[in-house]
Amino acid sequence: MILKGAPVVAAMNEANAARCAALREKGVVPTLAVVRVGAREDDLSYEKGVMARCAKVGVEVKQFLLPADAAQEELLGVIACINADPSIHGCLLFRPLPRQFDDRTVRAALAPEKDIDGITDGSLAGVFTNTALGYPPCTAQACLEILKFYGIPLSGRRAVVVGRSLVVGKPAAMMLATVTLCNSRTRDLPEVCREADIVVVAMGKAGAVGAEHLREGQVVVDVGIHVNEEGKLCGDVRFGEAEPLVEAITPVPGGVGTVTTSVLVGHVVEAAEKTV
């Protein structure tokens, strides 16, 4: 089975649109602030996708654009305005920021209740303590949303997460069942992966996982996004080898990435609901 993102997105869009409509009836317009410093190509393309998804379900977007050479104080000023503005429910800040910014200071400036992208320490603490502080990083949650949508049970099943970043690997591991969290020093990764029922790959290495890591009956979630030598998008998993072997796998493109945007929009709606 190919675990396509499109049906998951369609279901989430429908739910988000209904919740937006209910909020608008109460006079609340769910609103996302998008803060971009400079104009990196991948930021622009993600921004375009987010704006289209917001428009589709009825979330308003306010853009805050700063030049690539903006000073940290300017950005902190923008974030302070967003924190203080009750009409804004969530904030998406594009990172990595240019060199002149201290990432930690900037992240810490955002109010956790508006951190719909899970970038503050408060949001991460929420994931690790299982409390509703902030919001989980969207990509990690997207992996779980896909498994949930396709009715793939987690209970009692062994999961391996390859990659331990704070954006994907670690939070995904916290939200899964019995987990082994792997990193670049893990010995015999293929054997460790083959032991799992569910393999989440967030390694950031194009085509690094293939048939030697996988076996029949597994569910594979491929988080990686790369542009290959032919200029086509591909994942961390060699799809052509994996797909005939395993029970189910997410494609790249059309898998985790597309669901990530809907998770983000869902967080904005949830943040707006909390203000009613």
Q: What residue ranges bind ligand NAP (CB under 6 A)?
A: 139, 162-165, 167-169, 182-186, 189, 202-205, 223-226, 236, 256-257, 260
Cβ atoms within 10 A of the Cβ of 231, count? Answer: 6
Is omega for the bond preceding 253 within 30 degrees of 0, making it cis? Answer: yes
Least separation, in Å, of the C-beta of 208 and ligand NAP?
6
Token pair in block for residue 125: 């603490």
Pick between residue 58 and residue 224 the one whose CB is nearest to ligand NAP.
224
Pick between residue 179 and residue 203 the one whose CB is nearest to ligand NAP.
203
Handedness of CA 245, 204, 224, 144 (dihedral sign): positive
Pick between residue 197 and residue 222 the one whose CB is nearest to ligand NAP.
222
Pick between residue 62 and residue 226 the one whose CB is nearest to ligand NAP.
226
Least separation, in Å, of the C-beta of 94 and ligand NAP?
12
CA distance 65 to 36: 5
Least separation, in Å, of the C-beta of 207 and ligand NAP?
11
Least separation, in Å, of the C-beta of 199 and ligand NAP?
12
Handedness of CA 159, 164, 168, 172 (dihedral sign): positive
CA distance 74 to 273: 30
Pick between residue 122 and residue 251 the one whose CB is nearest to ligand NAP.
251
Least separation, in Å, of the C-beta of 182 and ligand NAP?
5
144-154 burial, b if ≥16 CB within 10 A, otherwise e?
bbbbebeebeb
Question: Could you tell me what percentage of the chain is helix, strand and coil, using 3-state DSSP and rounding each to the nearest 5?
Answer: 45, 15, 40
